[in-house]
Structure 1
Amino acid sequence: MHGEIATELTTTDGEPIMTIKLEPPGLPPWWVVRERLRERLDTGPARRLTVVTGPAGSGKSSLVADWTASGHAGGRVGWLTLEPDDDRPETFWSYVVAALHRAGVHVTSPWQEGAERSFLVRLVVALSAQQEPVVLILDNVHTLTRASILDGLHFLIEHAGPMLRCVLVGRTDPPLPLHRYRLAGSITEIRHDELAFTPAEADALLTAHGTRLGPNAVAELTEQTHGWAAALRLEARALPMSGDKKDELADYIRNELLGEQTAATRELLLRTCVAERLPAGLAVELSVRRDAAQVLDRLARQGVFVTAAAGGERTYVHHPQVREVLLAALSEGPVDRVTGLHRRAARWYAGFDRYAEALPHALLAKEWALAATSVVRSLGITDLLDGRGATAFTPMPPDLDRPEAAVVAAAVAHYLDDPEACAKHLMRAGEMAGGHDISLPLSLAAVDVARARRHGRPDDLAASAELAWRLLDDALVTGVAVPSALASLIRLARAESLLWRHDLTGACAVLQPSENDGGEVLGRLALAEALCGRLRRANEHARRALDRTGADDTPGDAAADVALAWVHTDEYDLTAARVHAEQAAARLEEHPDALLAGLLALVRARVHRGGGDTARAVEALTAAPAGTMPPWLTEMIAVTRDALLAPGRPPSAKGTTAPHAIAEALAAVTAGETTRARSVVASLGERPGLPLDVRVEGWLVTAAAELTDGRRDRARRALHRALALAETERLRRPLLETAATVRRFLREDRDLAVRHDWLGATPRPASVPVPAAPPPPAAPAAPVMVEPLTAKETEVLGYLAQLFSTEEIARTMYVSVNTVKTHVRGVLRKLAATRRNEAVRRARDLGLL
């Protein structure tokens, strides 16, 4: 023992009282005031007992010392820091009397052996006679083990009345009848979970040490250390110096924490540390001790070695830093010992069909057959396909005579982009797969689907996806918990095969959104919805897909951007369409896809056509990947190219798609064959699931045919049907690009024009921002109005607002086309616009229209 020796006080056996033990520990300059715990201590004056328990280094003694220094104790304070040698009645009670003497309580008769009760009664009487409450603080109370001392302490607390409040500070609960105090409501308890630092307190502690971290880093550090004050302090000291914080912390754990435990307890901790989460049964298996759970319960109450995990199962979690020290110690021993512990853990988990938890232990034990079985039985095959676990299986012997091992080998070969090896292992797995539960055929089908998506032909993908889809349905019907990643892979493959066949309704049904869908699934769903004409749904799913792709680091799939480009093209927001088309092109360079490339070519052609650049529109269609696209898309591109190169003429080749039929009907109207045009459109009505733009175009062709025949009332009804359909999704493109006679009729019919003024409104809601654009840097913002418009320019602007073409404006104004173009250029320059519809919008904003 060390400390200052007082000559006026001695123990009953004549030893001097060391007054250093009667002083609260000094608070360091980096101490953080913890108001929430001060308040918990403040609640105690009406209670006889306060217990503060926590592991070494949790800051419990400093907390109580800070509380007493703050003056919140509510009475005169007597402090006693106990040591192992104080676990003798004559020494303990001598020091208690000395501590109380400092608090103003004078007991003249010392403790004497054989007269313990008489001494305690006199002590109680002296305390009861006090005019002011006394707070007796016993630090390191866990050093007290003798029953006579503990019984006397209980007697003192019970009989001293309201003039004594006892605060016990230690690493474990004192062996007092705490349940009686709880029942009587006369105890305040602060335990290790409350002593743990919050992120805000940890941030204050780091700051006090001259270390500043961001909020996320502080939260991560607090979680990593479980708010343990000692670990946080060592981190705070080491961070500025980037020094040996781990070594310092490891030494502290070995010497201060593990060193206090018995050899048997240390051995239990050592054997069980191989498991990150430790169910009680596994603890028994690893430690070979039936009382393992009881020992872990005791350690959990101390709060630094293990904690009891929440949930129904009795489970423990090793403290991260303690586990790191234990694992390091375990690795210094024989390798077979570590391997054997992992083997025990893997087999224990597998024995309860908990294969996902068995897997990491089986890998570390090099139990390859069990590891492969764990992957298949837990339906975790997508982890290998995506590469998240494939490398762990590369050392697996290739000739294991198990179908699960063959499936795993096929998945690893797929990840390594070895299609021949993948196909060989799949064949071998199929030969051995008879008589197994659904997990094996479903895993095998998932690998085959992944192979077909990357290297197979469309019919190959369709067959693989069909089989996998049936197996997935069987699994879900029988209540198998299929991981979302596996279900998404199969849904994607099935939807891709349906999209290839242009079964848009089927693809949308397969891709119905769920909470756990990743960006790729949502992107394909957005694409299917866009092709159907459900633009609002497509917009929503595509933006969620882009958000999800950025959040979970999934591969950048172009489907969402293609869908958004398609949506904005149909809305005739050509700027936004161009932005997403460029983003999709960049993604397709990294992840080529023939379907998406063909759709992107169609979108780009439409954007160029909307801007009046027919040559670039044709060029964009020529860039489509000929020969690798679905037949329906090849035909659609051909029809679009023919319409650009030879407007008003029928398609150059025969076709079966709805766009081909629309093109034939338009050509028939141009040729004056209105009856044939109506017949072609009528035949489209017999086809189920027609996209919205095709239905709108059908009514527009009908309107054109009726106008050609001079039946304006019927034309008006057909145009009304087209407008009503298009308005639901703000579908502008077919209406703005329809035949000139129909557009002129729409302008002349004031009632239709007023009722459907949305055709000229800003197409994109303000709540849906256009993402950052990769196009060339924009020029400095121009003023909205450069100079006033001339009378002729104002007249031309009015015709532009009515959707007149340049030729129509020239005929109306009786001027040449070149004169109209000159006026249009003047309008665009003075309104700082680059396109006609943009000039119309700005003119409306300025009140010019």
Structure 2
Amino acid sequence: MTVKLEPPGLPPWWVVRERLRERLDAGPGRRLTVVTGPAGSGKSSLVADWTASGRAGGRVAWLTLEPGDDQPGIFWPYVVAALRRAGAEVQGEWRPEAERSFLVRLVVALASEPRPVVLVLDNVHALTRASIIDGLHFLVEHAGPQLRCVLIGRTDPPLPLHRYRLAGSITEIRHDELAFTPAEADALLTAHGTRLGPNAVAELTEQTHGWAAALRLEARALPMPGDKKDELADYIRNELLGEQTAATRELLLRTCVAERLPAGLAVELSGRRDAAQVLDRLAHQGIFVSARAGGERTYVHHPQVRGVLLAALGEGPVDRITGLHRRAARWYAGFDRHGEALPHALRAQEWALAATSVVRGLGIAEVLNGEGAAAFTPMPPDLDLPEAAVVAAAVAHYLDDPEACAKHLLRAGEMAGGRGVALPLSLAAVDVARARRHGGPDDLAATAEAAWRLLDGALVEGAAVPAGLASLIRLARAESLLWQRDLVGACAVLQPSEHDGAEVLGRLALAEALCGRLRRADEHARRALDRSHDDDGPGDAAADVALAWARADEYDLTAARVHAEQAAARLEETPDALLGGLLALVRARVHRGNGDVAKAAEAIAAAPAGPRPAWLTEVLDLARDALLAPGRPPAAGTTNEHAIAEATAAVFAGETVRARAVVATLGERPGLPLEIRVNGWLITAAAELGDGRRDRARRALHRALGLAEPERLRRPLLEAATPVRRFLREDRELAVRHDWLGVVPRAATAPQPAGPPPQAAPAAPVMVEPLTAKETEVLGYLAQLFSTEEIARTMYVSVNTVKTHVRGVLRKLAATRRNEAVRRARDLGLL
């Protein structure tokens, strides 16, 4: 049949794969090339494309084999016919009684050929007879450089390949190299008239493992949704499963319930001691499973093939599937691999084992946040097991049923006893989640402290606590400390790690901002916003409150207002008493900085009602009183702000000794926020000025400026008492040394005495054309070192629009660079 002597034709949608052409090109100096892969991997078309391109380096003799060709009397005549068709001068015919002499004559004839010959044997896996394999080996070994043999098959030919490898005379292309790359898959889809985005192509390539047949059928199905995917299932059943033995098919059916298949689990599910050997063979052939490297032999079914196997398994009795999952769950649990046991226990509805797996695997946080809660809703509520009671409490919490949650927690506590680390820690985590949502401050403080101690003990014992569970407890502990205004403790609890989520980073940013560490607050808040960018929900407002607080302290009022509005939008969805009170204080500071005292007082009055920390209520009251009645002595209080207000009132009343004494008491308090320390020195400077001691006032002001400069804390200095601000403007040395503050010294614009002009700094720039509202807003973002893209996202405009505003700012401020524009804007009082 001459059709067997022709290479397969290339379809119009064929994709040239240059990287594999180059691999085939590497073989002229080698006698043997082996291309192996499962059905539908494109191996025959690859070699046909290579030979058609003229890169084979010789005349091509092609022979496509079939199972019936596994006989010397059929195989060798076809080989001779293929060689003659390629133009080789091969004489004689094969005869059973003279096989050896035939092979010798064939070798001599090929060795004497003037031009090389490339013999391609497709479907070489059809050859199993030892005499044919020996003859083929003899031919490759003795024909010399004039013959290159290319073998294409689903399995390795039974030749001594190790000898060829040792001699360096073989080129091998296997199923992993035959897999399509995303770029090749995109070209294949395009050839079928289907265009997908890069992410969709990458996802499809990963799902199909780059299998050519699957990609081809998916490409056909995408433009015409329907039953096209059945074509792939039929192909798998007929071409792949159909050629396996019944015993191998049964092994694959029984093991397909596991997405990842350790060798021991394969033995457990199949009941065959040689399961790993069978899977090794199939993995080597690129069929059905691929072996994963690591500490244990683990296999992964091809996703499409596993889907077909699961569908076939589902056509049988339900008890069979349940039983296999039960076996898998118990096998994993027996090795304390509770996270891997859980999905199988759920599928088998082994509720006791499933609950135990959640608790012992410390996966309770996933149930609390809803990822695993739905799976446990059918669980009987009265299982006599503490682990089941803990899981039931977590499900009740997710369903927002506080009474049921408390009932199950009580029942779990009664049954718990002394059961290691996992059960008490999981129980405490659920209790903490309950207290955060429904408990008061005292309840949260007690439960958070207990959970924190358990977490610390578990980590000391070396337990692998998941990041989600640790974050839940850290957040609760930090929230309770923030309510108590233990800022140092909150920062210590929230020390960042690479696994922290947006909520942890946001609360850390808030704690750092309240401490006055504005640079750290900015860093953590931006990381928090980056990590919450892809979340569907409103997100936590802590990061935006922290950024608003930091920008207000830096006196960047435009940016502070923007972040305050973003925080307010988030708080509408998820109210928070602490964040709402702090946001009201920030808004008041923004209005105060813009000179609108009335609106500042209204912002404080608009702080959300409800329970909030006592210290925050006192700080809000003090801020309101300072706006409406500046200099009036405050009511009784205990906060640092109360001491500052008391000392400020003493300065207003001329009681400078008392003001300094009150400030001195602050130095005895540990962990003072930066703002309090700066205000203390500013009050000291005001008191010294009131006593006429300008040198001491200058030293105190220098201390305040030195503390504030690293964090660019401008607000307390720019809102200090009038004598202090006047003194700062008049003291040229201080103003110039601390130009970051943006205060223009009065000496720079005062009339100069007669005589030669002194070598002074140039006068502040004068802006002829005023900035527009949008340009002013852009200028505020430039001062924060926002990039053009960040400004565009914040203002909801295009990048080109932002660039236009920036050009306008630079032109009107007579600047060539952004930082120069910001400096001149500060000199002009625009920032």
What is the CA deviation profile of residues 815-842 of structure 1, one whole-angstrom value per residue up to 9, with x for unaligned ones? xxxxxxxxxxxxxxx99xxxxxx99944
What is the CA deviation profile of residues 555-614 of structure 1, one whole-angstrom value per residue up to 9, with x for unaligned ones? 600000000000000000011000111111111111111000000010011111111111
Aligned to 1:204: 187
**Structure 2 residue 584 is matched with structure 1 residue 604:** no
Q: Following superposition of structure 1 onto structure 2, how do residues 609-620 of structure 1 map, counting pairs within 5 Å? A: 609-620=592-603
**Structure 2 residue 694 is matched with structure 1 residue 712:** yes
CA contact (8 A) 1:549 1:555 kept: no
Aligned to 1:172: 155
Change (3 A) 1:199 1:839: closer
Q: Following superposition of structure 1 onto structure 2, how do residues 657-668 of structure 1 map, counting pairs within 5 Å? A: 657-668=639-650
Unaligned 5+ runs, structure 1: 1-17, 789-829, 832-837
Aligned to 1:486: 469
Deviation at 1:244, TM superposition (A): 2.1
**Counterpart-to-counterpart distance in 1, 2:261 and 2:251:** 12
Amino acid at match of 2:293: A
Change (3 A) 1:107 1:467: same
**Counterpart-to-counterpart distance in 2, 1:119 and 1:104:** 19
Aligned to 2:717: 735
**Counterpart-to-counterpart distance in 1, 2:714 and 2:161:** 77
Work out which of the residue numbers 781, 785, 788 in structure 2 matches 1:766: 785
**Structure 2 residue 438 is matched with structure 1 residue 419:** no
Change (3 A) 1:441 1:100: same
Work out which of the residue numbers 700, 712, 719 in structure 1 matches 2:682: 700
**Structure 2 residue 300 is matched with structure 1 residue 312:** no
Amino acid at match of 1:611: N
**Structure 2 residue 675 is matched with structure 1 residue 656:** no
Change (3 A) 1:628 1:518: same
CA contact (8 A) 1:784 1:842 kept: no
Work out which of the residue numbers 532, 540, 552 in structure 2 matches 1:569: 552
**Structure 2 residue 233 is matched with structure 1 residue 214:** no
CA contact (8 A) 1:453 1:493 kept: yes
What is the CA deviation profile of residues 423-452 of structure 1, one whole-angstrom value per residue up to 9, with x for unaligned ones? 000010011111211000000000000000
Deviation at 1:551, TM superposition (A): 3.7
**Counterpart-to-counterpart distance in 2, 1:840 and 1:157:** 80
Work out which of the residue numbers 525, 529, 534 in structure 2 matches 1:542: 525
CA contact (8 A) 1:706 1:712 kept: yes
Aligned to 1:332: 315
Work out which of the residue numbers 630, 645, 648 in structure 1 matches 2:628: 645
Amino acid at match of 1:733: R
Change (3 A) 1:839 1:484: closer
**Counterpart-to-counterpart distance in 2, 1:287 and 1:744:** 88
**Structure 2 residue 378 is matched with structure 1 residue 395:** yes
Change (3 A) 1:252 1:185: same
- Which secondary structure does the structure 2 equivalent of 1:686 belong to? coil
**Structure 2 residue 416 is matched with structure 1 residue 433:** yes
**Counterpart-to-counterpart distance in 1, 2:528 and 2:366:** 21
Change (3 A) 1:497 1:844: closer
Change (3 A) 1:376 1:782: closer
* Deviating more after overlay: 755-764 vs 716-725: 755-764
**Structure 2 residue 219 is matched with structure 1 residue 240:** no
Q: Following superposition of structure 1 onto structure 2, how do residues 50-199 of structure 1 map, counting pairs within 5 Å? A: 50-199=33-182
**Counterpart-to-counterpart distance in 1, 2:528 and 2:376:** 32
CA contact (8 A) 2:742 2:827 kept: no
**Counterpart-to-counterpart distance in 2, 1:138 and 1:785:** 74
CA contact (8 A) 1:519 1:554 kept: no
Deviation at 1:114, TM superposition (A): 2.3
**Counterpart-to-counterpart distance in 2, 1:20 and 1:775:** 66
**Counterpart-to-counterpart distance in 1, 2:810 and 2:269:** 82
**Counterpart-to-counterpart distance in 2, 1:146 and 1:681:** 100
Amino acid at match of 1:502: R
**Counterpart-to-counterpart distance in 2, 1:478 and 1:774:** 50
Aligned to 1:823: none
What is the CA deviation profile of residues 175-226 of structure 1, one whole-angstrom value per residue up to 9, with x for unaligned ones? 1111111111111000000000000100111111111111111100000000
CA contact (8 A) 2:783 2:822 kept: no
**Counterpart-to-counterpart distance in 2, 1:317 and 1:303:** 11
What is the CA deviation profile of residues 268-308 of structure 1, one whole-angstrom value per residue up to 9, with x for unaligned ones? 11110000000000001111111111110111112131100
**Structure 2 residue 568 is matched with structure 1 residue 585:** yes
CA contact (8 A) 1:542 1:564 kept: yes
Deviation at 1:733, TM superposition (A): 0.3
**Counterpart-to-counterpart distance in 1, 2:159 and 2:722:** 96
Q: TM-score, normalised by structure 2?
A: 0.92
Change (3 A) 1:299 1:513: same
**Counterpart-to-counterpart distance in 2, 1:756 and 1:650:** 32
* Deviating more after overlay: 385-394 vs 102-111: 102-111
- Which secondary structure does the structure 1 equivalent of 2:711 belong to? coil
What is the CA deviation profile of residues 636-691 of structure 1, one whole-angstrom value per residue up to 9, with x for unaligned ones? 0010011011011111x200111110011010001000000000000000001000
- Between the two proteins, the alignment pairs up a number of residues equal to 783
**Counterpart-to-counterpart distance in 2, 1:478 and 1:711:** 61
Identity among equivalent pairs (%): 81
Unaligned 5+ runs, structure 2: 744-779, 815-820
Q: Following superposition of structure 1 onto structure 2, how do residues 472-483 of structure 1 map, counting pairs within 5 Å? A: 472-483=455-466
CA contact (8 A) 2:633 2:646 kept: yes
Aligned to 2:737: 755
Work out which of the residue numbers 457, 462, 469 in structure 1 matches 2:452: 469
Change (3 A) 1:117 1:376: same
CA contact (8 A) 2:90 2:110 kept: no
CA contact (8 A) 2:742 2:826 kept: no
CA contact (8 A) 1:77 1:135 kept: yes
Q: TM-score, normalised by structure 1?
A: 0.90
Amino acid at match of 1:740: T
Work out which of the residue numbers 429, 444, 448 in structure 1 matches 2:427: 444
Deviation at 1:330, TM superposition (A): 0.6
**Structure 2 residue 208 is matched with structure 1 residue 225:** yes
Aligned to 1:820: none
**Counterpart-to-counterpart distance in 2, 1:21 and 1:510:** 74
Q: Following superposition of structure 1 onto structure 2, how do residues 775-814 of structure 1 map, counting pairs within 5 Å? A: none
Amino acid at match of 1:718: A
**Counterpart-to-counterpart distance in 2, 1:301 and 1:698:** 75
**Counterpart-to-counterpart distance in 2, 1:498 and 1:765:** 30
Aligned to 2:748: none
Alignment RMSD, CA only?
2.3
- Which secondary structure does the structure 1 equivalent of 2:532 belong to? helix
